[in-house]
């Protein structure tokens, strides 16, 4: 049995628990996870007796290559997605149809209900996402490759940084270098914040120059093809503010304490608490305004998450970022981010870039 068939079999058990006998998968990334098909504009119906992909003639050759043998409902030119989906549902004949409540549009849900008024539609939440939290060896290998691509690009950029370079140039150069090493591209638009702009957790690159301040925050990642990486480092490029070193070392202490605390069986909120207590004790609790980390995989932000109130229990194979930060608006921001995978005995840090204060200097 291939990895995709095994995933669909696991999903069937969750579908049964949800008291339905079929699931209409409308989130494209979930279709990819369950089939290996990398196109879009296609839905998947997973049912007790098999599966059926609703697609169109543009993808038939690609489907034969990526997932041979998968049953298809191919929409003819001019046939709308709704019509193709209804026809596929009628072929499967479920007694109760599960729908992805967080993906399907209200319009599509209402149209299916109108076309098939006798079919109960059961809203489900996170069935495929639950499976996606645990990465298999092949997924981990792809994430490792995305980490390698991101780290190699960063090493080149760090060596090339000049005072006249702008945030935008650095972001573009990072993407170019990652593509040179086989990446599909960035896993998200890089965050490059010079000086006071480093206090913007999601600041977009501008034409601000590195010579405008003595330090810069860079948050970037590679998409190896399907899987993502996500890293953050602070570089000192000139004369930094006097308090930058102090804050940097607090953030690093918080991150290392959290990584040391990661172990299967612990709740996500417990790991967040470890880092948050370090920063709060240092007097900067109010300046750490986001969760400690998020899952990475087919998407750059997915489950599980290290955050207040997140009771998900850690299991081997979960891949999550650890990224505490302190942000002083108008002054500076520090965030240090690494990617980890939970193991049977603790965790493995997948990222390898140096992160001591001494390593931040260009």
The structural domains of the chain, with segments of one domain joined by +, span 3-132, 137-360
Q: What are 317's strand-pairing partners?
A: none
Where residue 260 falls (left for φ over 0; alpha for ψ -120 to 50; beta otherwise) is: alpha
pLDDT tens per residue across span 1-43: 699 999 999 999 999 999 999 999 999 999 999 999 999 889 9
Query: Which among 284, 314, 351 is positioned nearest to 148, based on CA atoms?
Result: 351
pLDDT value of position 116: 97
pLDDT value of position 1: 62
Q: What CA–CA distance (Å, rounded) separates 201 from 216?
A: 12
CB 312 within 8 A of CB 47: no
pLDDT value of position 211: 86
Average pLDDT score over residue span 274-288: 98
Average pLDDT score over residue span 66-89: 93
Average pLDDT score over residue span 165-175: 96
Query: Which among 104, 141, 131, 101 is positioned nearest to 8, based on CA atoms?
Result: 131
Cβ count within 10 A of residue 281 = 12
pLDDT tens per residue across span 84-118: 999 999 999 999 999 999 999 999 999 999 999 99
Cβ count within 10 A of residue 73 = 21
Query: Which among 138, 310, 313, 161 is positioned nearest to 234, based on CA atoms?
Result: 161
Q: What CA–CA distances, in Å, run from 139 to 10, 28, 227, 246, 263?
A: 17, 18, 7, 38, 20
pLDDT tens per residue across span 213-245: 999 999 999 999 999 999 999 999 989 999 999
Length of the chain: 362
Average pLDDT across the chain, whole number: 96
Per CATH, domain 137-360 is 3.90.230.10:
yes
- Residue 351: pLDDT over 70: yes
pLDDT tens per residue across span 112-163: 999 999 999 999 999 999 999 999 999 999 999 999 999 999 999 999 988 8
* CATH class of domain segment(s) 3-132: alpha beta
């Amino acid at each position: 049995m291939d990895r995709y068939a095994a995933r669909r079999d696991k999903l069937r058990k969750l579908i049964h628990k949800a008291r339905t006998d079929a699931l209409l998968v409308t989130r494209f990334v979930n279709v990819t996870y369950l089939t290996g098909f990398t196109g879009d504009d296609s839905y998947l119906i997973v049912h007790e007796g098999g599966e059926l992909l609703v697609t169109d003639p543009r993808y038939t050759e690609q489907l034969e290559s990526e997932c041979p043998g998968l049953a298809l409902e191919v929409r003819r030119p001019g046939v709308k997605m709704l019509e193709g989906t209804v026809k596929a549902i009628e072929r499967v004949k479920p007694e109760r149809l599960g729908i992805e409540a967080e993906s399907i549009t209200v319009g599509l849900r209402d149209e299916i209900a109108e076309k098939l008024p006798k079919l109960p539609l059961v809203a489900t939440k996170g069935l495929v996402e639950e499976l996606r939290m645990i990465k298999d060896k092949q997924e981990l290998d792809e994430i490792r490759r995305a980490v390698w691509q991101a780290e190699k690009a960063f090493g080149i950029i760090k060596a090339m940084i000049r005072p006249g370079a702008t945030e935008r140039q650095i972001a573009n150069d990072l993407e170019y270098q990652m593509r040179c090493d086989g990446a599909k591209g960035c896993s998200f638009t890089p965050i490059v914040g010079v000086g006071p702009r480093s206090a913007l957790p999601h600041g977009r690159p501008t034409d601000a120059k590195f010579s405008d301040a003595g330090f810069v925050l860079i948050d970037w990642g590679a998409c190896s093809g399907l899987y993502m990486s996500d890293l953050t480092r602070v570089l000192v490029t000139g004369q930094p503010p006097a308090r930058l070193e102090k804050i940097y070392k607090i953030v690093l202490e918080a991150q290392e304490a959290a990584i040391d605390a990661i172990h299967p069986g612990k709740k996500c909120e417990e790991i967040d608490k470890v880092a948050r207590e370090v920063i709060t004790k240092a007097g900067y609790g109010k300046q750490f305004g986001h969760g400690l980390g998020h899952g990475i995989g087919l998407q750059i932000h997915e489950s599980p998450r290290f955050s207040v109130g997140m009771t998900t229990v850690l299991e081997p194979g979960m891949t999550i970022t650890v990224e505490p930060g302190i942000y002083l608006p108008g002054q500076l921001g520090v965030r240090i981010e690494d990617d980890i995978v939970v193991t049977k005995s603790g965790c493995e840090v997948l990222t390898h870039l140096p992160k001591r204060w001494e390593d931040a200097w260009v």
